[in-house]
């Protein structure tokens, strides 16, 4: 598997724990990021979709020196950004120009806008994570494997899918996909079943071969359904590895 660097953090050698940081202003973002690393995060998923304006992006990037993956989720995809797709992409381009360590691009982003982000990130030498989210269901195993293949083909340095689990069978299928994906993917990847039925997958997927997983700084600060506190997630992975 190819290794990817986010800041000084190497992805692809051991499970990496990202804490979601989702705040409205600079001060609370910096405080939440500090707490995430104190609690054992390797990296943060720095969600800029909730920041009140673009001027805050440069400041939070500058003040958080640790590894950070920049993400801007629209409301349609369980995020908070209310502007147009063009405005959302502009926010990510600002992040790239101002020192983002890595950037997250949704697979569902319109082709021309998605390519604009990927091209700019590649020019800056910034790793690109291409992500697929489904908050309605867990697609078939074949569909999930094809999604990871497509993300790799599009130029992802890291491939990801996160899907809602309606029952434990859905979670088990996601874990089956992890076992299959590691046979052919030569880039780091993330596979997550969300929700209460998928929560265990956030640790188990890393035990089985997923490169990263997402956690919360603490209960009540979840960025997606089923996230567990970073301390608990690390403990589970270490106990089962």
Q: Is residue 4 a part of any domain in this protein?
A: no
157 backbone dihedrals φ, ψ, rounded to 5°: -85, -25
- Quote the domain boundaries for residue 94: 14-240
Q: What are the residues whose beta carbons fall under 8 Å from the beta carbon of 130, sequence distance 6 or more? A: 104, 105, 106, 107, 118, 151, 154, 155, 156, 158, 159, 160
CA atoms within 13 A on the CB side of 74: 16
pLDDT tens by residue, the chain, 241 residues: 899 999 999 999 999 999 999 999 999 999 999 999 999 999 999 999 999 999 999 999 999 999 999 999 999 888 999 999 999 999 999 999 999 999 999 999 999 999 999 999 999 999 999 999 999 999 999 999 999 999 999 999 999 999 999 999 999 999 999 999 999 999 999 999 999 999 999 999 999 999 999 999 988 888 888 999 999 999 999 999 8
3-state secondary structure of 102: strand
DSSP state of 139: -
**Cα–Cα distance measured from residue 160 to residue 188, given in angstroms and rounded to the nearest whole number:** 9
The pLDDT value given to residue 151? 98
The pLDDT value given to residue 178? 98
Q: Is residue 231 a part of any domain in this protein?
A: yes
Q: Is residue 115 a part of any domain in this protein?
A: yes
The pLDDT value given to residue 186? 95
Q: Is the model's pTM score more than 0.85? A: yes
Q: Is residue 2 a part of any domain in this protein?
A: no
Q: Is residue 1 a part of any domain in this protein?
A: no
Say how many domains are in the chain.
1
The pLDDT value given to residue 130? 98
**Cα–Cα distance measured from residue 84 to residue 171, given in angstroms and rounded to the nearest whole number:** 33
Task: For residue 147, give the nearest of 198, 106, 175, 114 by alpha carbon.
Answer: 106
**Cα–Cα distance measured from residue 210 to residue 175, given in angstroms and rounded to the nearest whole number:** 9
Q: Is residue 8 a part of any domain in this protein?
A: no
Q: Is residue 54 a part of any domain in this protein?
A: yes
Which domain CATH number covers 25? 3.20.20.70
- Please write down the HEC assignment for all residues of 142-161: HHHHHHHHHHHHCCCCEEEE
Q: Is residue 141 a part of any domain in this protein?
A: yes
């Amino acid at each position: 598997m190819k290794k990817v660097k986010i800041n000084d953090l190497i992805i692809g050698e051991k499970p990496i724990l990202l804490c979601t940081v989702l705040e409205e202003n600079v001060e609370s973002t910096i405080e939440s990021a500090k707490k995430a690393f104190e609690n054992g995060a390797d990296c943060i998923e720095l969600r800029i979709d909730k920041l009140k304006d673009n001027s805050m992006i440069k400041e939070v990037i500058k003040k958080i020196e640790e590894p950070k993956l920049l993400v801007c989720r629209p409301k349609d995809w369980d995020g908070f950004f209310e502007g147009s797709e063009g405005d959302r992409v502009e926010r990510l381009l600002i992040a790239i120009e101002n020192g983002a360590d890595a950037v997250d691009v949704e697979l569902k982003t319109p082709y021309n806008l998605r390519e604009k982000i990927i091209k700019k990130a590649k020019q800056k030498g910034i790793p690109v994570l291409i992500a697929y989210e489904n908050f309605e269901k867990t697609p078939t195993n074949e569909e999930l494997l094809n999604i990871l293949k497509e993300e790799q083909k599009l130029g992802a340095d890291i491939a990801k899918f996160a899907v809602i689990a309606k029952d434990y069978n859905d979670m088990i299928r996601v874990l089956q996909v992890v076992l299959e994906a590691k046979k052919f993917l030569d880039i780091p990847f993330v596979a997550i079943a969300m929700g209460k039925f998928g929560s265990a997958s956030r640790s188990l997927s890393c035990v089985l071969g997923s490169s990263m997983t997402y956690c919360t700084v603490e209960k009540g600060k979840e960025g997606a359904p089923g996230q567990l506190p970073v301390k608990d997630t690390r403990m589970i992975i270490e106990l089962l590895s």
